[in-house]
Chains A and B, each alone.
Chain A
Amino acid sequence: MNIAVCVKQIPDPATPYQLDSENHWVVRPNDQVLDDTDRVGIEVGLQLAEGSEGTVTLFSMSPSGNLQGIRQALAMGADGAVLIDDETLKGSDALTTARALSAAIAQGEYDLIIAGTESTDGFTGVVPQMMSEILDMPCLSFARKVDAADGTVTVERQTASGYEVVTSSMPALLAVTNGAVEPRYPTFKGIMQAKSKPVTVKTAADLGIEKAESQKIVSVDAVASRAAGDIVEDEGEAYTKIVEMLEQVKVI
């Protein structure tokens, strides 16, 4: 089974991200990291490929920087990566991103395309669905358990009240949740091998796409934060503060 996994390099989420003053785009430093949620999709892909003598190829669109995030993903065991890096695509919306990733994936042949549910920096959460429409594949989204064999893929899809079992033929696109599998840690060997794995760079022209201008951020304003609360160090009696507050708001 040959598998494509979509991954994203993002600014370190431990620090609030910055927006540039002109276009209000997220400032992307040279040192970006692999979006942690993508490790789940990579793990799902690796497990399925390992069970079927297949390959895992990563697809990513972002300014490449020093490729730190992509190397982190390769270190888990993926075979190679295709990176879409083009100055003209800077500030792309979700649909342009989906078109670019789809065009790159369509240059190969894959049984399954795997993505996360949403990125940790953008939270738009629709790129996988857009790709499924563009690639004419079923979109098995919010998948928390995945089985794939003999041309059929079955997932448990989370719903508001529980889950449903959804099945489709392949090729198909999966958007997995963080609970799908426990991602492996890269081994030392994996980290060393990642340095020499092939990373192919594609431009917008290579893929025959261009950036769609569908929206612009017209203002960015600080939101009034909640008034600072009372922070108490527990020395054995702090629970009484909670009781007092519950009384004050008349819950008890």
Chain B
Amino acid sequence: MATWVFAEEADGAPTPGSLELVSKAATMGPVTVFYVGTGSPESFATLGGCGATTVHHLDTGDALPAAPAAAALAGLLTGSDASVILFGMGNTDRDIAGMLAARMGAPLVANALDVSTDGAVTVTSEINGGSLGITTEVTGSGPAIVITRPKAFPAEATGGGSPEVHTVAVPETGHAGDATITERHVEASEGPDLEAAAVVVTGGRGLGAEDKFAMIDELAGLLDGAVGGTRAVVDAGWVPYSYQIGQTGKTVKPDVYIAVGVSGAMQHLVGMKGSNTIIAINKDPDAPIFGVADLGIVGDLHKVVPQLIEALKTR
């Protein structure tokens, strides 16, 4: 029984999230990867190094990948011995997973923190902001489509060799495939990579105004940290989506997470509660963020943060 993994390309290489999934799959048996992107011998070798034995490579060019990728995957999976296919939480992951499930009538479980194929496919996940753990057993037929949370598994090089690579032809998709990417824009952030930084400083709605984010930038800079934002401030347009931490954004597990003016909505907590040390500053003593904080300061962030910045500057 092969475990399949959807892997996506970014900046000419498999995304870190994709490699986490390949590494996890390698602990479950032989791994077949469905790779969407331009593709290169280096990319395929990276996938092989994490345990992929076979790679099916599809390049969708300027077409929105979801429909052609789902159609191609359905063709490959039908009649295969796949028991499970792992997806990440990326936007394209979710598009393809959803369309694939509908196309194949296959079972789909989302927000997975772990998956097992010993016997029936079982998936563990958490709800209510991580307070309840759920175990789901897949009972439907067809490969189980499992969408996993980022950083649920470490990416590990297994020392595997080059995988066997098959080029997949772009399939006919009908009207569903009629969507074209006409422009690509990068909204660059400065400083360390949010998902890899040892310190993350996140600003929430409690900052009150967009220009107050300068304070977050300065604090993060003093700690060599990265800057994050909640969904509320991203939706308000204060910072780009690439800053978003939470259910629909990035998942971070830094050594220190500093939440400034963040209430701690469930959808935010799932993206940061794995941090080693959590410090929160909020004026509302009942804010849920204090429930996960190692140190919570109930007070006016407009006073506390400038004081903190001054103290750090004088060191």
Segment of A60-68, A69-77, A93-101 in the binding face: A93-101
Q: A225-B291, A239-B311 are in contact. Are A249 and B101 (CB under 8 A)?
A: no
Segment of A2-10, A42-50, A84-92, A128-136 in the binding face: A128-136
- Provide the bound-state CA to CA distance between A230 and B308, in Å: 18
Are A226 and B292 in contact, CB atoms less than 8 angstroms apart? Answer: yes
Q: Which of A130, A158, A159, A179 contacts B99 (CB 8 A)?
A: A130
What residues make up the interface of A, taking CB atoms closer than 8 Å to B?
13, 16-17, 19, 24, 93-95, 98-99, 117-118, 120, 123-134, 136-142, 144, 154, 157-169, 172, 177-179, 212-223, 225-226, 229-234, 236, 238-243, 245-246, 249, 251-252
Q: List 30 A-B contacts (CB under 8 A).
A: A117-B248, A129-B99, A137-B175, A138-B179, A139-B67, A158-B241, A160-B90, A161-B186, A162-B186, A162-B241, A163-B187, A168-B64, A168-B178, A177-B235, A214-B106, A214-B140, A216-B139, A217-B137, A218-B135, A220-B135, A223-B126, A226-B294, A229-B278, A230-B294, A232-B295, A239-B297, A242-B295, A243-B312, A251-B223, A251-B256
Are A139 and B179 in contact, CB atoms less than 8 angstroms apart? Answer: yes
Q: Would you call the interface of chain B mostly helix, strand, loop, or mixed?
A: mixed
Top-8 shortest CB links A-B: A234-B299, A129-B98, A214-B140, A126-B98, A214-B107, A179-B235, A138-B179, A133-B102
- Provide the bound-state CA to CA distance between A125 and B247, in Å: 10
User: Given A124-B111, A165-B183, A229-B293, 8 more contacts at CB 8 Å?
Assistant: A123-B110, A137-B175, A139-B179, A179-B234, A219-B135, A222-B133, A226-B278, A240-B311
- Provide the bound-state CA to CA distance between A217 and B109, in Å: 11
What is the minimal beta-carbon distance from B308 to any residue of chain A, in angstroms? 4
Q: A95-B108, A226-B273 are in contact. Are A246 and B223 (CB under 8 A)?
A: yes
Are B66 and A139 in contact, CB atoms less than 8 angstroms apart? Answer: yes
**What per-residue 1/0 map shows which CB atoms of B20-50 lie under 8 Å from chain A?**
0000000000000000000000000000000
Are A126 and B94 in contact, CB atoms less than 8 angstroms apart? Answer: yes
- Provide the bound-state CA to CA distance between A1 and B185, in Å: 29
Closest chain A residue, CB of each to CB of B254: A251
- Provide the bound-state CA to CA distance between A148 and B140, in Å: 39
What residues make up the interface of B, taking CB atoms closer than 8 Å to A?
10, 15, 64, 66-67, 70, 90-91, 94-99, 101-103, 105-111, 122, 126-140, 147, 174-188, 198-199, 223, 231, 234-237, 240-242, 247-248, 250, 255-256, 258, 266-267, 273, 276-279, 281, 285, 290-300, 303-305, 307-308, 311-312, 315
